[in-house]
Homo-oligomer: A and B are copies of this chain.
Amino acid sequence: MLSKALQKRILALDNKKQRKESGLFVAEGGKTVLDLMAAGIALDKLIATTEWLKEHRLDPETEVIEVSNEEMRRISFQQAPQGVMGIFHQPQYEADYTTPERELCLALDNVQDPGNLGTIVRIADWFGIENIFCSVGTADIYNPKTIQATMGAIGRIKVHYVNLPEFLESIKEKAPLYGTFLDGENIYNKELKGNGLIIMGNEGNGISKECSRNITERLFIPNYPSGRETSESLNVSVATAIICSEFRRRG
């Protein structure tokens, strides 16, 4: 059964400030919840419908709050609740600012849409990019919509919020800094390294001036055929996917 107090605490997790204060976040759906548990993210509470529990076997040690479908509807952040919700503790890890010297990392410069951020985390997971450095203006990784879009990948990827322009300034001589620009070079022909930072910009405005001045490797995803009238740009998560694929194709 769902207490009023718990319901209130859960719904408050839609709010960034409340998430920060409690150090908690919500994940929904069997795959996401089980992926996070498997990745060792500490569970605070597991809530599942009677129906879901009939169809899924959990470790008998796991404490579950059993609720009705109607109760789940009241706490779910989704239009079609999936029968199970986990309240998790936000994992704590220190950012290692030297990572881009050794491996490929992503940086997000004010990506606003929670869905885009989650999709980018899922892409990073697929392509083995384990660290994402976000500007402080980027959407919150623990937004329920973001968690949903990561499809469990958040358990394997570390997301750090940093002063991005300062960070780029500090590593520009130690690692290649890549960004896409309309006047960049054709990515298919350009030399791409196995380390460095790929910086992706805001949905409407692209990469900010403060960040772009330190980006030396200017890339462009060519449209096809060249010269055909087309969309002005690609969605930021779509562009991230194409760029990561191209880096990893080269091995």
Interface residues of A in 186-235 (CB under 8 A from B): 188, 221-225, 228-232, 234-235
- Chain B contacts of A31 at CB under 8 A? 232
Tell me whether A128 and B242 are in contact (CB under 8 A): no
Is A151 located at the chain interface by the 8 A CB criterion?
Answer: yes
Chain A residues within CB distance 8 Å of chain B: 31, 115, 119, 122-123, 125-128, 149, 151-153, 156, 188, 221-225, 228-232, 234-235, 237-239, 241-242, 245-246, 248-249
Please give the count of copies of this chain that the complex contains.
2
Q: What residue of chain B has the Cβ atom nearest to residue A119's Cβ?
A: B235
**A147–B68 Cα gap in the complex (Å)?**
37
Tell me whether A248 and B224 are in contact (CB under 8 A): yes
Tell me whether A231 and B188 are in contact (CB under 8 A): no
Tell me whether A222 and B248 are in contact (CB under 8 A): yes
Q: Which of B126, B128, B188, B223 is A249 in contact with, Cβ under 8 Å? A: B188
Tell me whether B238 and A156 are in contact (CB under 8 A): no
Q: What residue of chain B has the Cβ atom nearest to residue A123's Cβ?
A: B238
Q: Which of B122, B222, B230, B235 is A156 in contact with, Cβ under 8 Å? A: B230
- Chain B contacts of A149 at CB under 8 A? 235
Tell me whether A234 and B238 are in contact (CB under 8 A): no
Nearest 8 pairs between A and B by C-beta? Answer: A224-B248, A128-B224, A238-B241, A242-B245, A188-B249, A125-B231, A153-B231, A127-B224
- Chain B contacts of A246 at CB under 8 A? 245, 249
Q: Which of B221, B225, B232, B238 is A238 in contact with, Cβ under 8 Å? A: B238
Tell me whether A128 and B238 are in contact (CB under 8 A): no
- Chain B contacts of A237 at CB under 8 A? 235, 238
CB distance from A115 to the nearest CB of B (A): 8
